Amino acid sequence: MAKVTLENVWKLFPGGVVAVRDVNLEIEDREFVVLVGPSGCGKSTTLRMIAGLEDISRGTIHIDGRRVNDVPPKDRDIAMVFQNYALYPHMTVYKNMAFGLKLRGFPRAEIDARVREAAEILGIEELLERKPKALSGGQRQRVAVGRAIVRKPKAFLFDEPLSNLDAKMRVQMRAEISKLHHRLRSTMIYVTHDQVEAMTMGDRIVVMKDGLVQQVAPPLDIYHRPANLFVAGFIGSPPMNFFEGRIEARGGTLYYADAHRNLRLDESRARAAASHIGREVVIGIRPEDLEFAPDGDGNDSTRRLRAAVEVVELMGAETYLHLNSGSGVFIARVASGAAAKVGDAIAVDVRMDRAHLFDKATGAALG
């Protein structure tokens, strides 16, 4: 069992800096949890407190039911993979991977067996006698992962391990880490600022901002039911489009209205918005929920937005249209064959059943 529990955990630095505020989190055995957020949100600090590399200012951390606040890192039975690999430059790959086992007094035969087993899993058997400077970035990261695997720890901690890799290698390593998780069936806690990594790798995502946990949920729940404006805007690429307006009631139907838009709320959204009639709200619409509507096809105008095309981004499989409706730019994700060029005045229809409403004052999602 390798359950990790954080209860009311705070981290305060000298000078009054609050890096982590009252984090409560339960990570189940064999779960892959991703901590995601912008730089400075406290995700790495939280990870380092779990590892024991940072003291805990307040609260408690339990690993497998054992309170570890005052337990040094080497006795927590965790292994960590660092952003900059942290390979010992004067040691060969073999010695890098064997170092932790050697310090713990493992017999030489067992060290050798574990190192070779991990090397085989990661496909780095031929690199064992090389030094880190003779390896590529992806190879170094694999060695760093291998150094963690040989320990057979209760939990793996990853601190932005793919940040220093190029885009192609990142995609490859993402898949390899996911495969590793399925193979090893271990608890993994993964920190990243990349929401694509978070969405593709985690069983659950913990979104953080300014030291606070914003939402904890499986990836699709985070995506389709963001708890607040920050989560909605942070997860998803291109990001969600936001418009500020009010909820109006006309003839028994609720509308979102602002200076340039008048959108009828879908039944499911209307129930959530009922408490906010006359109040200011923010409506969030994902780029893929805007459908390109060539003029004159008779679609419902209560969900139509008219805008001018400012930028056309051809992505190959799809096209991003940067549109300006007079109150700022928003992005629509349309099929690659959509006929629109810069300067065109076009219309897009909103999938109102997928629109998100947020209280403007608090940022919290309605309903």
Structure tokens at 74: 């080497």
Site map 93..122 versus another protein, x via CB under 8 A: ------xx--xx------------------
Q: CA 152 to CA 164: how far, in whole Å?
A: 25
Two structure tokens written together for 333: 């994700």
Task: Return the residues of window 151-180 that contact another protein according to CB under 8 A.
Answer: 151
Question: Do 251 and 257 touch, CB atoms closer than 8 A?
Answer: no
CB of 35 to another protein, least distance (A): 17
The yes or no reply on residue 239 touching another protein (CB under 8 A) is: no
Q: Is 15 in the site for another protein (CB under 8 A)?
A: no
Residues 254-283: x where in contact with another protein by CB under 8 A, - otherwise, as a string: ------------------------------
Nearest-angstrom CA–CA distance, 35 and 46: 9
Give the C-alpha distances (Å, rounded to integers) separating 305 from 247, 290, 300, 314, 326: 17, 9, 11, 22, 11
Tell me the C-alpha distance between 152 and 170, whole Å. 24
Q: Which residue has the tokens 């990349």?
A: 194
Of positions 8, 24, 60, 84, contacts another protein by CB under 8 A = 84
Binding of another protein by 343 (CB under 8 A): no
Q: CB of 148: closest distance to another protein in angstroms?
A: 9
| Options 34, 79, 111, 352; binder of another protein; rule CB under 8 A | 79
Applying CB under 8 A, which of residues 33, 80, 145, 321 lies at the interface with another protein?
Answer: 80
**CB 75 to another protein: min, Å:** 8
SS3 content of the chain, % helix, strand, coil (to 5): 30, 35, 35
The tokens describing 362, both together, are 């608090």
Q: How far is the CB of 164 from another protein (least distance, A)?
A: 12
Q: How far is the CB of 114 from another protein (least distance, A)?
A: 14
Question: How many residues lie near another protein (CB under 8 A)?
Answer: 24
Q: Restricting to residues 48-77, which ones interact with another protein according to CB under 8 A?
A: 51-53, 72-74
The continuous run of DSSP H or E covering 310 comes out as strand 304-314
Q: Do 14 and 20 meet the contact criterion of CB atoms below 8 Å apart?
A: no
Amino acid at 104: R
> With binding defined as CB under 8 A, does residue 11 bind another protein?
no
CB of 84 to another protein, least distance (A): 5
Contact between 137 and another protein by CB under 8 A: the answer reads no
Q: What's the rounded Cα separation, in Å, for the pair 177 and 169?
A: 12
Looking at residue 181, its amino acid is H
Residues that bind another protein (CB under 8 A): 51-53, 72-74, 78-80, 82-90, 99-100, 103-104, 147, 151
